[in-house]
Structures are given as structure tokens and as C-alpha cells.
Amino acid sequence: MSEMLDKMTLPDGDFELLMLHADGELSGDRTAQAQQLLAESAAARAIWADLQLTRTLVRAIAEDAAAPAQAKLARTDLSLLPGQIMRKLPDDQALHPVAEIAKERGLIAWIRGLGFGKVGFAMGLAAAAVAFMVVKAGPVADGPVLDQTAEIAAVPGTNTAPRPDAETPDDGSVFIEEMDIESGGVMVHPPREQGGSTIIWHFQDNGAAQGAGGEG
Amino acid sequence: MSAMWSKTAVLRGALLALLLAATAAQAQTPPPVPTQAVERASFQVRVIEATKGAASVDPKLADLERELRSLHRDYAHFALIKSDTQSLTTGTRGTVRLPNGELIIQFLGLSADKVQRVRHRVEMPGLNATVRAVAPGGRTLDVLQLGDKLVIVATTVGR
């Protein structure tokens, strides 16, 4: 449990540094900084191990994903990571532009591609976590895989967030305001067309659900 | 004279007592409670089972056919297991029996947005709980794999 607290309390800047280091996107000085952090912090090393495992899984999934439909499948499979905990989003990542997501590469892009600005991992822990968020699940047009990502906004310290009022009455729009995850994971797919359903996949820790997302 | 003064004093005392009593009674009367309209929402819940059998969709699920068929490439047979419509008032709960436990829906009230959405909490047994705000007519499909089957809960929200 104390290990989990260490992970959760690692400064965001250090967490970001490790993620960029895992992607090999750091310059020489920043790389040295990341290595020093790993040498000095047990929490950083624990997170590094999680990131490496995540990276391995992502790579294995991505290598199998030749077609866009399979890539979508791979994105969903990433949510099967055991003990995944969704953390509150920082302000500056609210409503992360889809276009920017599409330009990103590597692990961060995969994680953000899930629809979350930041994801914390606590492997092997059946911990409960509350993610305060709003998922705007309005209809989206078919397109590249990452374009299917739902927009997410968050307001720290509250379970509500400002929502666009562009909808007309009885538009059937769906917002996920709050998630309380006991185990497993959750994936939200916005409707593909007006009047369609918002699809919410519920994953168990044993990775039972496979291939969520369909053929599209 | 003194008797008359005495009667006046008694009369004044009685009037004062009446006045105090009336004031006290008024103070003890609870303020009128504004009548609050009872909010109500309906939840049409359909429990669907998907298997890997031959492709077919229950005719009662015609409105969902397109979405169900595109849900998962391996699951093509969809059968309606249960259909129920629950009318809930604010704070009350409804339950739906699933193979792995009871799904609980709790109506939390209407949102104060321009579009009044039905706020409700959905508890998936043993997994998670989500708070949702859904405009009337909106629909969610909760999908969970149990063994070699998919259990799909289609919930349509109404007022």
C-alpha cells in the first residue's frame, strides 16, 4: 500500500519525465536527469518498471495491428492492464485536441489515445480509485483510430465539469461524470451516429474481455 | 376608582397576554414548505446475451441490430434475455439481475443544465460504478464478458 502511495505522490513533472524517457524523446541532459531520478527514487523505479511492462505490451499489440480496425482493437486491449487506475486530469490537459493526439507517437500517445490525459498504473493492486471526469460522448464521424477518442474535461476537486450546451433538448447525449473503479477497467466509445448508443466496456482484472471495439 | 383601575389593569394584562400568546404561537408555526415537484425518470433496461453462434439478432432487438452487429467481430448471435422498464423517483434504486450479480441503477435527479439530463448512478457488480448524465432518449450499452459470452445491458433513459 505504501508503494502505491509513493507512486501516486510522485510529482507530475517526474512522472512526465519518466514517460518521455521511456519513449526515448529526451535530450542528453534530460536523459541524465531521468537516470538520476531512477537512481535516487524507489518510487520512480517502481513506475519505470510499470512503464516498461506497459511498453512491452503495447509493442506486442501494435505489431499485431496491421489494419485500422485491428489498431482500434489494440487500443482497447491496452485497458486490460491489471489494476489500472485513472487519475484526475490536470487542468492543462483538459479537452486535449484530437489533432495533437494524432501527431504524437509512442507510449504517451497510446495512453492519451485511450482518452485519458494521464493514467497511473498500480500493478497487482485491487485498489479503488475515483476519477473525476466528464466524457463528452457525442456522435463522432468515422475516421482514423485516434479520432474516435472521446473528449475529456476535468475540474479538480469536484465531480462536475462545465459541459457544452450546444445540444438541443432530447438529443440523447450521454456524459460520464464520475467513475469509481473497484477492479478492472472501463472504456467508453461514443456513438458513431446521431441517436446511437454510447458503448461502455467493463473489463475485469483477469483480462477476460478481448477485442472490444468491433469492426467499426 | 381603584376597582376600576384594577379592572383596566387586568384587561390590559389580559390583552398583553393574548398578544404574547399569539406572537409565540406564530413563532412556533413552521414556515410554509415550498412544494417540491417529485422528479421521476424511466429506465428501459434490456439484458442481451451475445454468443459466438450463427449470426442472428432477436427480432425484439431490431432497433439495436446495427450497433450489436458492429460490437465485436467474434460475437454474432444476440438474444434478449430480459426486458424491464423501471420508473424511479429521486434517490430511489432499481436492480437488474445479471449472471454475475445485481446491477443497480440509482436515479440522482435532473441536472440543472439547459438540457435537463437524467443523472443516475450505475453499479456494475464487483467492478465499478459510474455516474451518468443522459438526455432523455439517450441510450447506453454496458458490455461485460462473462465466460464465453458477452452480457450487454442496453439502457434507454426517459422522463
pLDDT in tens, B105-139: 999 999 877 778 899 999 999 888 888 889 899 99
CA distances from A19 to A35, A38, A122, B35 (A): 12, 12, 15, 56
Is B46 an interface residue toward A (CB < 8 Å)?
no
Q: Do A173 and B115 lie within an 8 Å CB cutoff?
A: yes
Q: With 90 as the cut, is the pLDDT of residue A86 above it?
A: no
Distance from CA of B117 to the nearest CA of A (A): 9
Higher pLDDT: A109 or B107? It is B107
Q: From CA A105, how far away is CA B99, in angstroms rounded?
A: 41
Closest chain B residue to the Cα of A136, Cα to Cα? B133
| Chain A residues lying within 8 Å of B143, measured CB to CB | 199-202, 209, 212
Q: Assess if residue A100 is contained within a domain.
A: yes
Return all residues near B62 (Cβ < 8 A) that are at least 6 apart: none
Least confident interval from A18-27, A81-90, A176-185: A81-90
Domain that holds residue A84: 2-203
Residue A153, pLDDT above cutoff 50: no
For an interface test with B, the pick among A85, A142, A174 (most B C-beta atoms closer than 10 Å) comes out as A174
Is A2 a residue whose pLDDT tops 50?
A: no
Residue B19 has what pLDDT? 52
Q: How many Å lie between the alpha carbon of A5 and the closest alpha carbon of chain B? A: 21
- Per-residue pLDDT band for A94 (boundaries 50, 70, 90) equals very low
**Interchain pair A214, B139: CB under 8 A:** no
Judge whether B114 is closer than 8 Å to chain A, CB to CB.
Answer: yes
Q: Are strands B139-146 and A198-203 parallel, antiparallel or unpaired?
A: parallel
- Closest of A90, A188, A194 to residue B130, by C-alpha: A188
For residue B114, being part of any structural domain is answered with yes
Q: How far, in Å, are A35, A214, B51, B57, B142 from residue B76 at the CA level?
A: 50, 11, 6, 8, 17
Q: Which residues of A touch B132 (CB under 8 A)?
A: 174-177
pLDDT digits 0-9 by tens, A32-68:
999 999 998 888 887 777 677 666 655 544 444 333 3
Domain that holds residue B63: 40-158
Contacts of B70 in chain A (CB under 8 A): 192, 214-216
Number of domains in chain B: 1
Mean pLDDT calculated for residue range A111-140: 32
Cite the beta strand spans of A66-182 per DSSP E: 84-86, 119-121, 129-136, 151-153, 174-181
B139 touching A (Cβ < 8 Å): yes
Q: What is the dihedral of CA B72, B75, B76, B80, to 10 degrees?
A: -100
pLDDT greater than 80 at residue A114:
no
Q: Is residue B34 part of a domain?
A: no
Confidence of residue B44 (pLDDT cuts 50, 70, 90): very high
Q: What is the pLDDT of residue A187?
A: 73
- Are the CB atoms for A216 and A142 separated by under 8 Å? yes
* Residue A74 within any structural domain of the chain: yes
| Confidence grade of residue A121 (pLDDT, cut at 50, 70, 90) | very low
- For residues B72 and A211, the answer to whether their CB atoms sit within 8 Å is yes
- Mean pLDDT (whole number) for A134-157: 30
Residue A86: Cβ within 10 Å count: 23
Instruction: Report pLDDT for B152.
Output: 96
Residue B25 has pLDDT above 90, yes or no: no
Average pLDDT over chain A reads 51
pLDDT at A55: 63
Best to test chain A binding among B115, B148, B153, B156 (most A CBs inside 10 Å):
B115
Residue A62: all three cell numbers together:
501494435
Confidence category of residue B72, pLDDT binned at 50, 70, 90: confident
Average pLDDT, whole number, for chain B?
A: 83
The alpha-carbon gap from B142 to the nearest alpha carbon of chain A, in Å, equals 5
CB pairs under 8 A between A and B: 126
Domain contains A212:
no
Instruction: Name every residue whose Cβ is closer than 8 Å to that of residue B66 and which is 6 or more positions away in sequence.
Output: none
B42: pLDDT confidence band, cut at 50, 70 and 90?
very high
Higher pLDDT, A32 or A111: A32
Q: Is B70 exposed, middle or buried (0-12, 13-18, 19+ CB in 10 A)?
A: middle
Question: Is residue B54 in some structural domain?
Answer: yes
Q: Ranked by mean pLDDT, which of A79-83, B23-27, B36-40, B127-131 comes out on top?
A: B127-131
Q: What gap in Å lies between CA B146 and CA B99, rounded to an integer? A: 8
Query: Does a structural domain hold residue B128?
Result: yes
ipTM, two decimals: 0.77
Closest residue in A to B139 (Cα) is: A197
Q: How many domains are there within chain A? A: 1
Of A204 and A54, which is predicted with more confidence?
Answer: A204
CA distance A84 to chain B (A): 12
